[in-house]
């Protein structure tokens, strides 16, 4: 077990040091191409859209996990160290802490320079809402919400699956995420075909989202935020979201930071009112964004240390 923890630690360190370099071929790109090809094929071969969507989910997740398993075990046949290196590199590609920090920092830096058009442009890369007319507080809200929500599906969830099932399970999780982002829409084209992907993504994130909220509440006091308020708001407002999972980490972050998240967003020119999360004790500004980033790293660190302690105990136990 200590060897598995060392692989996970290496993956985390690679992510923290290098993030998502453009020169490195990313598995998610390959997964996206696979989804596009299989969607066209299944739409031609399967008349029932729900059945086609289930087959798409099974094929994409199975092929992704199988490819990762083959790479890791093929390398291990050459040498055990080679297998560990490949596993660590694949695990690295599943983690997004540094990328999340860096992409949200572009928004924050533009805001701190007073360049609202540039901040809106950078925010549009990481959120689905319309950003062209957003005032400064709403841009900060978008940045904070992005960091809070993606702490779960971009950091804690893939790290958890990497710990439990190695690179194959972590990449299977990324395949589910990618499927949801490509076909999990509630529109005419994907309402039935993308149903399985959307529901399975909810299921895959059920435990990680709640673990993320727990870790955020525990980490809050360690990074200079309010742990008590994180617990309070998470319990009070964790369900104030259209997603059964996203509201949990957002509520924990809102409570820790003492800010209000949620509210009305505009999508394709149409305002969509959403419940609010948290209380406006503090403004949405650079301090809130920095606090959200510290909370993300704090939650990741706690999970890594906790699993390391379990691995070490397994080694030292009689």
| Other CB atoms within 10 Å distance of the CB of residue 46 | 16
179 in Cβ contact with 56 (< 8 Å): yes
Burial class (CB in 10 A: 0-12, 13-18, 19+), 172: buried
Taking only the tens place, the pLDDT of each residue in 127-172 is: 989 999 999 999 999 999 999 999 999 999 999 999 999 999 999 9
Residue 162: which of 220, 97, 224 has the closest Cα?
97
**Does residue 316 surpass a pLDDT of 60?**
no
Taking only the tens place, the pLDDT of each residue in 262-303 is: 998 998 889 988 899 999 999 999 999 999 999 999 999 999
Residue 151: which of 205, 80, 115, 204 has the closest Cα?
205
Task: Identify any residues that bridge with 262 across adjacent strands, giving them in sequence order.
Answer: 276
Pairing of strands 270-272, 261-262: unpaired
Question: What does pTM read for this prediction?
Answer: 0.94
Calpha distance 280→141 (Å, rounded) = 12
Calpha distance 141→160 (Å, rounded) = 27
Return the pLDDT at 238. 94
Task: Identify any residues that bridge with 192 across adjacent strands, giving them in sequence order.
Answer: none
Return the pLDDT at 90. 97
Token pair of 4 as six digits? 């598995």
Return the pLDDT at 1. 67
């Amino acid at each position: 077990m200590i060897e598995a923890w060392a692989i996970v630690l290496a993956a985390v360190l690679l992510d923290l040091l290098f993030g998502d370099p453009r020169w490195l071929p990313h598995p998610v790109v390959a997964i996206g191409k696979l989804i596009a090809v299989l969607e066209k094929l299944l739409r031609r071969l399967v008349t029932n859209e729900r059945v086609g969507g289930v087959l798409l989910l099974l094929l994409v997740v199975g092929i992704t996990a199988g490819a990762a398993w083959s790479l890791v075990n093929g390398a291990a046949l050459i040498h055990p160290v080679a297998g560990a290196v490949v596993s660590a590199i694949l695990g690295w590609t599943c983690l997004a802490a540094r990328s999340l920090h860096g992409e949200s920092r572009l928004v924050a830096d533009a805001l701190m320079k007073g360049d609202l058009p540039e901040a809106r442009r950078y925010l549009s890369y990481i959120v689905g809402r319309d950003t062209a007319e957003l005032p400064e507080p709403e841009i900060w809200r978008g940045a904070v919400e992005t960091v809070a929500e993606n702490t779960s599906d971009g950091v804690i969830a893939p790290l958890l699956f990497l710990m439990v099932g190695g690179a194959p399970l972590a990449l299977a999780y990324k395949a589910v995420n990618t499927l949801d982002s490509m076909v999990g829409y509630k529109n005419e084209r994907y309402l039935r075909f993308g149903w399985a992907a959307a529901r399975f993504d909810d299921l895959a994130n059920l435990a990680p989202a709640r673990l993320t909220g727990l870790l955020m509440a525990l980490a809050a006091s360690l990074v200079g935020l309010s742990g008590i308020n994180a617990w309070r708001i998470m319990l009070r407002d964790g369900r104030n979201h259209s997603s059964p999972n996203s509201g949990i980490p957002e509520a924990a972050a809102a409570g820790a930071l003492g800010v209000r998240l949620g509210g009305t967003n505009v999508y394709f020119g149409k305002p969509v009112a959403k419940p609010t999360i948290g209380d406006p004790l503090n403004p949405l500004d650079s301090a809130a964004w920095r606090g959200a980033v510290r909370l993300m790293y704090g939650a990741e660190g706690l999970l890594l240390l906790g699993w390391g302690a379990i691995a070490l105990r397994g080694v030292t136990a009689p």
